[in-house]
Structure formats: structure tokens, C-alpha cells
Amino acid sequence: MVEVYLHDNKDTPENFTDAHNSGESVSLEELSKIGVIYRYIDSEDKLNELAKERDYKNRDQVSLNLGSFNDDIEAFNNKMAQFYKEHYHEDEEIRYIVSGEGYFDVRDQGDKWIRTKLVANDLLILPAGIYHRFTLTSAKRDVKAVRLFKDEPKWEAINRDTGRLSSARENYVKTVAV
């Protein structure tokens, strides 16, 4: 089952896959206030229902572990660093965890990191324009996930450090303004 809490902000390039639990829990209701939707999905039928409900027409499945990089630790570490760089997308990001585990970090309205640990049967929907990042857990370093798409997959990550603000980001900020 999902764990959600404030990140302790003590991550480094060497330990960002550790839990970094500040001890301060975050409720699913608080997540929903920033547009993040969590669901527990325990069957393919329920996943298909959600896909139909949200008009997701395409999907694929990805495996992320050292083996998926032909045991090339440098390539694996480079990809992990890329996923952990703070960014947003112009489309929703939807992940359903089939096996393994990983962390999605999202920014709250006060710009704090909220860490969400996902395991098998957890599904997370991130709204277009939300700053986020992803990593595997240090305990497993393995995840198999289904990615859902409304149309053809578009995966341009717009890194925060570029300062680029698209209409997706501007619209997201308006939806969560306090």
C-alpha cells in the first residue's frame, strides 16, 4: 500500500534512492489538492475501467532495473539521475506498478517535496505541469510499470532549471493557487 510523506531534503547523488522520510505523513486528500490522484488497482479489469473513464487509449509496460540496461551500471545510474532531475510534462503522467517499487516526488503548493512510495497495485496520476521526479528504492532497485497515454506517448521532460514555462505549467499553477 502507498506511503506518502514529506521528504527530508537530505538526499545526495549517492543516497537519493533511500527513503528520506521526514516523519511527517501526508494524506491522500492533501495529494489530491495538488491534483495528484492515487488509486489501488488490483485487477486488469479495474485498470481497463480507469483507462476508459479517463480516455487513455494507449499503454505500454516498462521494466527498470540493472538487467534492463544489460548490467551496464553506468548507463543505469545515468538514467536514474535523469529521472531524478526535477521536471514536468505537458501531459498527465500515469504509472501503475505491476511489481517492484519506486518513489515519485512531487512539489506541494509551498514548494516542499512530497514523497510517494509505490508498490504493486498502486497507481498514480500526476497532472500536466506539476514538478516531479522519480527513482527506484534502494531496497529493490527494480520496478515493472504500465504507462497509460491519452494519445501517442509524448515524453518531453521540461526541467525546472531551464526556467521554461509552457501553458501546461501555467495552467497547473492556476489550478492549485491558494
Which domains are delineated in the chain? Answer: 3-153+164-170 (2.60.120.10)
Angstrom distances, CA of residue 169 to CA of 73, 75, 104, 173:
34, 30, 18, 6
For the annotated binding site for Fe(2+), the residues are: 87, 89, 93, 132
> Maximum CA pair distance of the chain?
47
For the annotated binding site, the residues are: 87, 89, 93, 132
pLDDT confidence bin for 43, thresholds 50/70/90: very high
Amino acid at 50: L
pTM of the prediction?
A: 0.93
Q: Dihedral of the CA atoms 69, 73, 78, 82 (nearest 10)?
A: 60
For the annotated binding site for Ni(2+), the residues are: 87, 89, 93, 132
> Nearest-CA neighbor of 91 among 33, 132, 60?
132
Mean pLDDT value across residues 140-156 = 86
pLDDT tens per residue across span 114-126: 999 999 999 999 9
pLDDT tens per residue across span 55-66: 999 999 999 999
**Cβ neighbours around 7 below 10 Å, total:** 21
